[in-house]
Amino acid sequence: MSGHSKWATTKHKKAANDAKRAKLFAKLIKNIEVASRLGGADMEGNPTLYDAVNKAKKNSLPAENIDRAIKRGAGIDGDGVEYNTIMYEGYAPGGVAVLIECLTDNKNRAAAEVRLAMSRSGGNMADPGSVSYQFARKGVIILSGVSEEQAMEAALDAGIEDIEQNADSLVVTTEPQDMVSVRTALQNAGLDYDSADVEFISSLKVPCDKETAQKSIKLIDALEDLDDVQTVFTNMEISEEVLAQLEAN
């Protein structure tokens, strides 16, 4: 789930159980395959693939799986699966807006599964454009053990738009076209990063109490559990107080 909220960065740090890890690995492999298919197998000339591989490594995807995914996507080991990107829009309980990004080889299956997950978890599908208008594409780089001052000094001139300091991470936001240059500037300064992705960020945040947050997270988890769903973007905003209540449970 991406917002980018404090819950998203907290969730990013939590160790997944075996079932969740298997699903995460499948999504990481799919990202690598698509990046390799679109931009080629050379990571130096394909920054999207570079970031997909780095994210996979950070999440402990075995090297042989990464290598196979690159070759499969680039057609080196025969033709891989052709994936289509589809975006669905909807609302979680409490009026929380969600954008659901799917990478699928079967549009009918993806649509049916997303609709079922939404209805079972108290959500509602929305017409195209009724939710997406409030989201804008942004580059999002997450770092750990790095201060705001260090990031600003290293990459301000490269195109940093905003920096948010959370309890255990730093979230750097850029325009999509500036993400690679900012990420490179951070690396050149010796600052390692956890992930670098182009995400959809909402300009209309919805503050959530504990009950609304729990219901919305349940829906988002159900969506992210689907094989065809790659990422769920939301405008949910959770305060430190509510986040502490959720983590206590």
pLDDT in tens, 20-63: 888 899 999 999 999 999 999 999 999 999 999 999 999 999 99
2: Cβ–Cβ under 8 A, 6 or more apart, which residues? 8, 140, 197, 199, 200, 201, 231, 232, 233, 234
pLDDT band at 12 (very low <50, low <70, confident <90, very high): very low
> Pick from 231, 230, 140: which is nearest to 180 by CA?
140
Confidence (pLDDT) at 243? 85
Residue with tokens 């992210």: 224
d(C-alpha 135, C-alpha 203), whole Å: 6
Q: What is the pLDDT of residue 19?
A: 72
pLDDT at position 11: 54
Residues 101-151: tens digit of each pLDDT: 999 999 999 999 999 999 999 999 999 999 999 999 999 999 999 999 999
Question: In the chain, what are the domains?
Answer: 1-133+207-249 (3.30.70.980), 134-202 (3.30.70.980)
Cα distance between residue 124 and residue 90, in whole Å = 5
Q: pLDDT at position 137, please?
A: 95
Please give the pLDDT value at position 40: 93
- Name the residue among 200, 195, 173 with its Cα closest to residue 50: 195
Whether pLDDT at 246 is above 90: no
Give the pLDDT of residue 6.
54
pTM here is: 0.86
> Tens of pLDDT along 196-220?
999 999 999 999 999 999 999 999 9
Q: What is the pLDDT of residue 166?
A: 81
Q: Can you tell me the mean pLDDT for 8-24? A: 64
Q: How confident is the model at residue 8 (pLDDT cuts 50, 70, 90)?
A: low
Whether the CB-CB separation of 28 and 55 falls below 8 Å is answered with yes
Task: Residue 95: count other Cβ atoms within 10 Å of its Cβ.
Answer: 13
Q: Rounded to whole angstroms, how far apart are CA atoms 245 and 249? A: 7
Residue 78 backbone zone (phi > 0: left; psi -120 to 50: alpha; other: beta): left
8: exposed, middle or buried (Cβ count in 10 Å: 0-12, 13-18, 19+): buried
Q: Residue 197 pairs with which residues in a beta bridge? A: 140
Per-residue pLDDT, 228? 95
Distances (CA, A) of 2 to 9, 44, 72, 224, 246: 8, 27, 28, 11, 17
Q: What is the pLDDT of residues 158-207, one digit of tens each?
A: 999 999 988 778 999 999 999 999 999 999 999 989 999 999 999 999 99
The pLDDT assigned to 184 comes to 95
Is 1's pLDDT higher than 70?
no
Q: How far apart are CA 3 and CA 227, in angstroms?
A: 21
Structure tokens at 127: 């017409």
Q: Tell the residue number behind the tokens 């449970």, with chain if given.
A: 249
Arithmetic mean of pLDDT, 82-108? 94
